[in-house]
Structure 1
Amino acid sequence: MTEFIAYEQIRKKIATHPLRQSEIPAEHYVSAPLPTLRWTTPAYAVFAAPAARAPGRPLRLSPPDRWWAMSARRRQVLVYAHQSVTPYGQIPTEAVTVTPTGRTFAQAKEDLRLFDELIGEAAPHFFRGETGPEPIRADVGEILHAVLPREGLPWFRALTPDFFDWLER
């Protein structure tokens, strides 16, 4: 059985991939990679959305304008598309303002560490079609809501509906 690339490595590969460096504007928000089987092979999907940042103001995100998926086995891009050409799903088309969480930097950093750990533990179960331990699914669902901007959750759900369905079993 082929091993899956560790989630931490996938996150780093996506952040440093030439596609990210050359095709995605620097000011865009890039989502956390989430597991999916939408393209018949284990993958991590990501979207990028135009973002407006200003000191003292909350982050404002426009709907995603591009997305891609990277193999969970080979670190290669499986698909890259502009939302206007090949939409990944029906998504709300209104911009959103992300409500600050009130978490300190240290708390947010710990949330991300835990997110990486839990996704890393849950993804192999998901990819193999296993139910996986319910506590892991519950913990991932909880940390997802702490780490991902809740105003953008419909965009995440549309990108990886199979993963959200698995979490909510």
Structure 2
Amino acid sequence: MARPQNSVFDKFKTVAENRKARFDYYIEDKFEAGIALTGTEVKSLRFGEGSIAESFAEIRGGECWLVNANVPEFSHGNRFNHTPKRPRKLLLHEREISRLQGAVERKGMTLVPLSIYFNSRGRAKVELALAKGKNAADKRQTIKDRDWKRDQARIMRDHG
């Protein structure tokens, strides 16, 4: 029997975060995936370098891949240093991959990485979201809501 999953992932050290994803997409469901890295990539991430701002995930050949994520070369790496923008394999169960593939194909959803972090055991993980894109009107409404929350907090602080 499978052990129950935590609703909140065990984030120990966040390396990279895709803050724009929450603005551009409606986040439906979140997944935690391992990421297959080489030695110099892990060292570079441990130094806090890396960006997933323009990256996305896709399913090819029954495997999930993180595409366009930038992990810069390790400064003390030698000739065996890695390529910064290579596709990296995400480690998910087959059932999760088939569920993600079905949602992407049938519902027109997108796989968006939200953050890369190290968990308490020191493993590099990717928080992956199944998301639906927002249109321009939805984005304007998000901006209005965010501004109103900020004004509301200011009013409460001044007159509360």
Structure 1 length-normalised TM: 0.25
Relative contact order higher in (CA < 8 Å, ≥ 6 apart): 2
Greater percentage in helix: 1
Structure 2 length-normalised TM: 0.26
Greater percentage in strand: 2
Q: Which has the larger radius of gyration?
A: 2
